Chain A
Amino acid sequence: MIKKVLLVLALACPGGIWADGCDALQGQTIRFIVPSQAGGGYDAYSRLLQPFLEGSLNARIVIENRPQAGGLVAAVMIRDADPDGRTLGIINAAGLLAARVSALDTATARAPDPSEDFTVLARVVANHMMLFTGRDSGISDLGELLRISATRPVVVGVRDAGSASYFVFPIAARYLGLNYSLVTGYVGSSSRVLASLRGEVDIILQTLDSVMPYVKSGELVPLLWVTDPAGASQRGELPSKVPVLGESGDGSRQAGGADPLGADTLEPEAAAISAMLSAGRLVMAPRGLAPALETCLQDTLVELLHSNDLMRAANAAGLSLDPADASQALAELKMSRRYMEQYAPLMRAAIDETRQ
Chain B
Amino acid sequence: MDTTVLDAALEGLRIVFSWPYILYPIAGTLLAMVFSATPGLNSASLMALAIPITYGWEPIPVMLLFGAFVGGATFMGSVTAILFNVPGKASNAVALLDGYPMAQQGRAKEAIGSAATASALGATVGIFLLIGMIPVMRSAAIALGPAEYLMIAIWGLTMLAALAGNSLVRGLIAAGLGFQLAFIGYDPRTAELRFTLGVDYLADGLSLVPVLLGLFAIAEVIDLLASGKETIAGTRSFERLQGRMIDGVRAVFRHFWLFMRSSVLGTIIGAIPGIGGSVAGYIAYGHASQTAADNSQFGKGDVRGVIAPEAAADAKDGGALIPTLALGIPGGTGTAVLLGVLTLHGLTPGREMLTDHLVLVFVLIWSLFLSNWMTSLLGVSFVNPLARLTTIHTGRLVPVILVVAATGAIQYRGDWGDLACAMAFGVLGYFMKRYHWPRIPLVMALALAPLFENSLHLTLRLQELGRIDFWSRPMVLVLLVLTLLTVLLPPFSKRWKELRRHKN
| A residues with CB within 8 A of B | 37-40, 43-44, 47, 50-51, 63-70, 72-73, 104-107, 153, 155, 160-163, 181, 183-188, 190-191, 193-195, 197-201, 213-214, 216-217, 219, 313, 316-318, 351, 354-355
Contacting residues, chain B, for A183 (C-beta < 8 A): 458, 461-462, 465, 467
B495 at the interface (CB under 8 A from A): no
Residues of B bordering A, CB below 8 Å: 44-45, 47-48, 51-52, 55, 142, 145-146, 186-193, 196, 198, 200, 203-204, 273-274, 323, 327-330, 333, 336-337, 339-340, 343-346, 348-352, 413-415, 454, 457-458, 461-462, 465, 467-468
Closest to B204 in A: A68
Give A355 Cβ to nearest chain B Cβ, in Å.
5
In angstroms, how far is the closest chain A Cβ from the Cβ of B357? 13
The answer on a CB contact under 8 Å between B191 and A47 is no
Q: How many Å from the CB of B224 to the closest CB on chain A?
A: 32
Q: Which residue of B203, B273, B337, B458 is within 8 Å of A38 (Cβ)? A: B337
Give CA–CA (A65, B49) in the complex, Å.
Answer: 12
Q: Complex Cα distance A63/B414, Å?
A: 12
Which residues of chain B are within 8 angstroms of A160 by Cβ–Cβ distance? 186-191
A33 nearest in chain B by CB position: B414
Q: A161-B190, A213-B348, A316-B345 are in contact. List 6 more A-B contacts (CB 8 A).
A: A38-B336, A69-B204, A183-B462, A200-B458, A213-B343, A214-B328
Q: Is B48 a contact of A105 with CB atoms below 8 Å? A: no
A181 touching B465, Cβ below 8 Å: yes
> Would you give 14 A-B contacts (Cβ < 8 Å), ordered by A?
A38-B336, A39-B44, A66-B415, A69-B204, A104-B192, A106-B198, A183-B458, A185-B461, A193-B329, A194-B323, A197-B142, A201-B467, A214-B327, A355-B192
Contact check, A191 vs B273: say whether CB atoms are below 8 A apart: yes
Question: Within 8 Å CB of B413, what residues of A?
Answer: 65-68
- Shortest CB–CB separation between residue B321 and chain A, in angstroms? 14
- Residues B142 and A198 in contact, CB atoms below 8 Å apart: yes
B337 lies within 8 A of A39 (CB): yes
Smallest CB gap from A110: residue in B: B200
Instruction: Please judge, given known A-B contacts A37-B333, A187-B188, A190-B329, whether A66 and B414 are in contact too, CB under 8 Å.
Output: yes
Q: Which residue of B lies closest to A181 (CB)?
A: B465
Given contacts A68-B204, A72-B203, A160-B190, contact A200 B333 (CB under 8 A): no
* B467 in contact with A155 (CB, 8 Å): yes
A190 lies within 8 A of B190 (CB): no
CA distance A355 to B145 in the complex (A): 24
- The 8 Å CB contact of A107, one of B47, B193, B462, is B193
Q: Using CB atoms, name the residue of chain A closest to B417.
A: A68
* Distance, CA A38 to CA B44, complexed state (A): 6
Check B329–A40 contact: CB distance below 8 A.
Answer: no
A residues less than 8 Å from B193 (CB atoms) = 104-107
Across the interface, which residues of A come within 8 angstroms of B187, CB to CB?
Answer: 160
Nearest residue in B to A106 (C-beta to C-beta)?
Answer: B198
Q: CB-CB < 8 A to A217: which residues of B? A: 348, 350-352
Query: Nearest A residue to B193 by beta-carbon distance?
Result: A105
- Complex Cα distance, B323 from A153, in Å, reads 30
- Contact assessment for B330 and A351 in the assembled complex, using a CB-CB cutoff below 8 Å: no
A354 to B192, CA, bound (A): 11
What residues of B have a CB within 8 angstroms of the CB of A214 in the complex? Answer: 327-328, 350
Nearest to A166 among chain B residues (CB) is: B191
Q: Is the CB of A194 within 8 A of B273?
A: yes
Residues of the B chain whose Cβ atoms lie less than 8 Å from the Cβ of A188: 273-274
Q: Is there an interface contact between B145 and A185, defined as CB atoms closer than 8 Å?
A: no
Q: Given A39-B48, A68-B204, A219-B350 in contact, is the A200-B273 Cβ separation under 8 Å?
A: no
List of B residues within 8 angstroms of A354 by Cβ: 189-190
The answer to whether B191 touches A104 (Cβ under 8 A) is yes
Is B190 in contact with A355, judged by CB distance below 8 angstroms?
yes
Task: Kindly provide the distance from the CB of B34 to the nearest chain A CB, expressed in whole angstroms.
Answer: 17
Is there an interface contact between A38 and B48, defined as CB atoms closer than 8 Å? yes
Bound: A234/B193 CA distance, A: 37
Q: Which 7 A-B pairs have the closest CB atoms?
A: A162-B191, A39-B336, A38-B48, A39-B337, A160-B191, A318-B343, A69-B203
